[in-house]
Amino acid sequence: MNNKTRVLFLCTGNSARSQMAEAFLRHYAGDHFEVHSAGLEPKGIHPLTVQVMEEVGLPLTGQTSKSVSVYLGKVLFQYLITVCDKAEQNCPTNWPGVNQRLHWSFEDPAAFEGSDAEKLAGFRQVRDQIDQKVRDWLAQQTGQPGEMASVNQPG
């Protein structure tokens, strides 16, 4: 029997933020959590998402962009965590099987404008914010600040 805590990260396109959060939580505490991500309107994983995650040693191998309908009403989650404001506003409020709903607001790196270097910098900034938020949340869950996170920090 699977005793892992199930977590679903949800954003609009499932192309950047939720993919990053899924990869970080799986990396830091995959033995304790079953981690998924989805989008309200999945668009495929953004190439810069792949690039910035590879930079920290977390390739997104095996992760795909998928619709929330894959899970809605079909899988029980202890946590549903929205990682963008649009998903928070448009996510069904009555979701049977979700024990706790959280909202972590991050800018959409795919919407950043500017040169390629500026866009890449934006993706890195959001990646680092998500990394820190996942580690902080994980420390709250385990009651041991940074213990799991510091052991497995990507580098």
Q: How far is CA 139 from CA 44, 104, 143, 149, in A?
A: 30, 16, 6, 8
Residue 35 known to be catalytic: no
Residue 91 known to be catalytic: yes
The active-site residue out of 21, 84, 126, 130 is: 84
Residues 18/37, Cβ–Cβ less than 8 Å:
yes
The active-site residue out of 81, 91, 126, 134 is: 91
What does the block give as tokens for 135?
């580690």
Residue 84 known to be catalytic: yes
The active-site residue out of 11, 35, 45, 80 is: 11
Residues 75/96, Cβ–Cβ less than 8 Å:
no
Question: Could you give the residue numbers annotated as active site?
Answer: 11, 84, 91
